[in-house]
Every structure is written in C-alpha cells, then in structure tokens.
Structure 1
C-alpha cells in the first residue's frame, strides 16, 4: 500500500506503463482513468498529500457522460468499444439514450436524467458495478496480475464482486495519499495521451475504419458546434453579440468557446460557455485562460445565467465549473503560461487569487 505522497511524474510513468503493457480488450480502462482524473481536478484536496474518497457512482456518472456522445452512430454504424460480444457499458448508455429519445440528437445527459430518472438510476447502478468488476479492479495490474497497488486499495475487488460488497465498502474507492493531486497535476498531459490510445483501440476493434475514414477522434472526443447553437443564441440575447474576450462585434455563426478548454474538462454548462470571435477562439484553442478571464466568466450575473438555462433547458453547472477551475489552476505549476488574448500570455500567479480560487 502506498502510504506516502508519490511524485506526480513517477505516478504518471506508472500509469503509462500499465496502459502500454497491459491488455485492453475494451476502452473501459481509458474511460475510468479519464473520469478519475476529472473527478480529482474537481475535488482537489487543499493539502496536496491528502488522500481522497471517490464515490464509484459519481465515477460511473462521468463514464456514462463520456460514452453518451460516443455511442451515437458513426457513418451509419455504432463503433465497437470492446472485443467482447457484449459491451456492457455502451449497451447501458445506448439503452438510456433510446429511453430518453436521444437517438442521433443533441439531447444532453442532464435532460435525459430528468426525462428518464428510473432508467438513468438503473444505468448508473449497472455501470458502477461493471467498473468495480472490470477496469477499477484491473487498472493497476501489470501483465500476469502483478504489481503493487499505487492508486487505491483494490484488495476487496474481483470479477464477481457484488453490489452488497461495494456498499459495505462505502461505495467508494480510496485514493492513496497524494494521488488526487498527482492526477490533477498531470491532467493536461494524461488526457490527450488517453485519447490517442482510445482512438487507436477503436480503430483496432473496428476493422472497417481504414486510414481514409475521417475524424474518428472528432466523433469520440470533439464537440459538435451545431449542438451549441441554442446556447449561442441565448447568450447573445442575454449578454450582447460581442466577443467575451476582445469585445468585437460578432458574426451570425460565431464560435461558442469553452472557457475551461473542452480538451481539459468536457464541461458544457453555461457557466463555462462564452461567445467568441473566430480570431480569439482560434488563438485560444486548448490553452488554459488567465485567472482574470476565468474570474470574469464566473462573475457573470448568476441570475441571468439561470434565466438562460431555464429558457433553453441547459444546465449552468456553476458549482462544477468553479470546482474544476480551482483544481486546474491549483494543479498547474507556478509561473505556467496562460492565455490572455491573441498573441498574449501571462504567467500563473495565485498570490492574489480571487475568492473562489482561495477557498
């Protein structure tokens, strides 16, 4: 058992070693690790060396959120995510989409939860149990089952673990000291690497995807700009048709930008969305914005955002965005460059951070 806080770089090296040497018969390990990283970012302890309890059902929700987009048909076919005959997690997510009437549509998971609460609850239980029996149980194992646990205690987990056993352990996995901080610190490096491995695995499991098939990565991890059209119109009406970053007047079909980059944390809540011009959107790309810009986004009138959310049935996710921003900035090395506008960058300095970052 890991009793001391591990250096983030060493932690990352161990994770990569497991992923590169272990068998991946499904994308579940990659999904679980992605969800675990995001949870750590959004629940980063104030003490970098502290342990962290992660509710398995909260992890399951994030995994459902990841597959929610991916199970949609790609060029007329649903992409295989497992080499096994039955892919339990994609099947459960597909069942939820069908129950919510989201086939091929841009319906959000949040709205599906409202439309079909019982189906969502059953999906969550199914996915949570699958995670404990499969990827969580195997995520730290080297080929042959060897290796010392370095992320969490998995001594009670096995392929046939019951829901009763999961609940007897509080329904949580307990990350060792310093692991949450290490994963949050490495999020900007690990998540792109996980996506690369994911695309490779999907291509391997779907033989019809040859080199000429366009943008598999975009289907799996991109954000369909047309799906953000309702938010674009509503934000223009509420805040005016000007770029949030540089305040130039906007064209009719301007981008909607994720302040916290979509590639870092896929949060679509209105609190993380702003209107941008093409120049600013293209310049920012995957960069972390300056604390000042993040603070400006979070300082928008909450009541106005709530009115927009109610009008278009779109969540604000304000608390989640605050928690994620706090985790991302605290996990970045002091002095890191952040985006402050086209051609401008500022060094990260938390010595005079806003209140939401100092909590």
Structure 2
C-alpha cells in the first residue's frame, strides 16, 4: 500500500529541488489532486486512469481567472524564454467568449464558445504531454524520471497526440497513488499555493512586498463575485443561515460547504447562505456530514436548477457529490468535523446516498 506521507514528501522534494521555469508543474499536480479527490477508487490500492483532456480542463480552470490583469498587468507565469502554450490557450478562449477582464465562469465560456473551448483543451493537453507531465517526476540532473506517480514513458517533447491516444489518451496513477493524493489534499494544496505565489513573485519584478493579495488574485479568493447569488438564494430558501438558522442581514457571507481551500468549487451545489458568526467559525474546517446531506438533498438541488438557469451559473452537482465522497472517504476514522458554532463532532458516515461510489 502506498504510504501517503512518503509520497507527499517525494512530491514536495521534486518541486522544491527540481527546475520550475513556469507554474505549470504546480498546476498539473493540483489538477491531479483534484481528480483523485473527485474520482476516488473504490479500494485504496487501486490504480486510477486520468484522461488527459479532463486534466487539461482542470488546468485551464486554474488559470482561467489568473490571466486577468493584476495591478494593471497580466502576471507572467513563466521565466523569459519558456513557452506559454497553456496561458495562450486560456487567453484565446477568454477572447473568443468575450470575457474581457471580468469574472465570467469557465462553464459559461464553454457554452458561448464551444469550438474555442475544444481548441483550448487540445492545446493544453498537448502542452501537458510535452512538458509538465514527463517532468513532474524528474529530479535535476537525472537523465530519466522516477515514475512513482504514473508511467510517463510515452510522454515528452517529441510525442504526438496520436501516440498518446494510442495509450488511451490518459495517464494511469499507480496503485494507491490516487488514495494517497486525496488523503494529502488538505496539506499539499496549501503548500503548492505558497510555491505558486513565490514563483509568480520571482517572475514579476513589480510584485514587491507592498503589493497586496497576490494569492487572492491567483486563487480566486475575491468573494465579491459570489454576491450575485445572495438575493436569489434568499428568495428561494429564505434569509436564514444554512447552518444555524439565524435571520441574515443584507450583506451576509456566502459560504462554501466543502472548504474552498480543499476543493475550489464555486458551483451552486457547494454554496450556501451563512451568518458571519458561522462563516468565520467554520473557516476552512470540514463540516459534519449532516450539513453535506442537507446541501446535497434532492429538493435543494432541484431548486438550484432554477436559480442556475436565471443566473447562468452552474450547479456542478455531480462534481460536488464526487468531491464530498472523495474527501470524506479519505479522512482517517474519528477525525473532528465542524458541527456548528464552537462545536465539533467526530466523523461519522451513516452511508448517505452521496457516499456510495457509482463505480
């Protein structure tokens, strides 16, 4: 069985000591962690196929808002001379969908410009095949990689898309790796974000210590965009905190049921109205499963479908369900969960419908 701690140490060692000319390795690893969480195998020791186009979509989603101007400039994500295929593909889709500098969701852009989206996925998939995927497991000075995560022998700079399609257009995480990445998500993702911010600061000389909230720009912690759902939610569900039921003021927070720090899902199925007390106390904690049961209840999700049509905002119900399953199945027995203001309870899975894997 793969030891999650040892695997995490190996991953961080490669990232810390290996060459990082761009942020693409970090994005690729984040995408692999997200895929593992949301597609957790039925058994911890099972391998997991990761379709490269799906991986490309997750990488695109990570850069989708990052390519907007920050302090009047588009942040460089690579050192001078490095190729910018992923960033260029992301910008091309934003241009085709007429996003401008706004925060249109990637899902809406996909509807507006389907051909441009397909082209972006193909370009990003090719970029992943040629650089980050074959380099993610290689230490500096080594002639070949150490494929402890997946077989990368058919990937590389001179490989064509047709060659990769002959391998199922996917990489396969080795037995136990997906479960280990899912278990480590809460530790690895914050570490990767710190590295990402440090790299971007190095690559953009104007980002000195006085420049505010680079991390917020890179990782979407600007919550103002979520305000659009406040009024429709209050109309449908009432002006009450999802967690404690207290009556809400006009400017109450919007909370991510599954913590944003663990899975950055902004779909309506993962968003609820909250009071400031519960929102601040819950923070990045994992909620007790009864809250997840309520968030994923059929009647609530049905109501969200109507809101989604009006706002053109995706519910992402399947992704939230998959992420919930992966997160909770990856937790050690008895881990504390947030059960309300200043209350916690040990994790107890009573086999709700979302717990059962479709596989």
| Aligned position for 1:231 | 229
Pair 1:334-2:347 in alignment: no
How far apart, in 1, do the equivalents of 2:312 and 2:226 lie? 12
How far apart are residue 232 of structure 1 and its match? Answer: 1.5
Q: Which residue of 2 aligns with 1:354?
A: 352
Alignment of 1:250-269 (within 5 A): 250-269=248-267
**How many residues are aligned here?**
354
- Large movers: runs of 4+ above 2 Å: 145-148
Map 1:23-42 onto structure 2 (within 5 A).
23-42=19-38
Alignment of 1:263-282 (within 5 A): 263-282=261-280
How far does the alpha carbon of each residue in 1:57-88 deviate from its partner, in whole angstroms, 9 at most, with x for none? 00000000000011110010000000144422
Separation in structure 2 between the aligned mates of residue 19 and residue 180 of structure 1, nearest angstrom: 18
Aligned to 1:120: 117
Aligned position for 1:196: 194
Aligned counterpart for 1:242 among listed residues 240, 243, 246 = 240
Answer with 220-229 or 29-38: which moved more.
220-229
Secondary structure of the corresponding residue to residue 143 of structure 1: coil
How many angstroms does 1:310 deviate by?
A: 0.7
- Alpha-carbon separation, structure 1, partners of 2:203 and 2:314: 35
2:96 paired residue number: 99
Matches within 5 A, 1:4-19: 5-19=1-15
What is the alpha-carbon root mean square deviation over aligned residues?
Answer: 1.1
Tell me the distance in 2 between the aligned counterparts of 1:109 and 1:195.
21
Which string of whole-angstrom CA distances, capped at 9 and with x for unpartnered residues, describes residues 230-275 of structure 1?
2112111111110000111111111111100111101111110000
Match of residue 344 from structure 2: 345
* 1:323 aligned residue: 322
CA positional deviation for 1:300: 5.2
TM-score (norm 1): 0.97
Q: Partner residue of 1:161?
A: 159
Match of 1:65 among 54, 57, 61: 61
Once residues 224 and 257 of structure 1 are traced to their aligned partners in structure 2, the CA distance between those partners, rounded to angstroms, is 13
Partner in structure 2 of residue 51 of structure 1? 47
Q: Is the 8 A contact 2:65 2:220 kept in 1?
A: no
User: Gaps spanning 5+ residues in structure 1: where?
Assistant: none
State the alpha-carbon separation in 2 of the partners of residues 215 and 11 from structure 1: 31
Check conservation: 2:2, 2:177, Cα contact below 8 A.
Answer: yes
Tell me the SS of whatever aligns to 1:339: strand
2: CA distance, partners of 1:26 / 1:148: 21
Name 2:78's counterpart in structure 1: 82
Unaligned runs of 5+ in 2: none
TM-score norm. by structure 2 comes to: 0.97
Note if contact 2:23-2:199 (Cα within 8 Å) is conserved in structure 1: yes
The answer as to whether partners of 2:197 and 2:214 remain within 8 angstroms in 1 is yes
- Deviation, 1:355, is 2.3
Mapped partners of 1:97, 1:36: distance in 2: 24
> Equivalents in 2 of 1:255, 1:106: separation in Å?
19
Question: Partners of 2:298 and 2:220 in 1: how far apart?
Answer: 26
CA contact (8 A) 2:134 2:145 kept: no
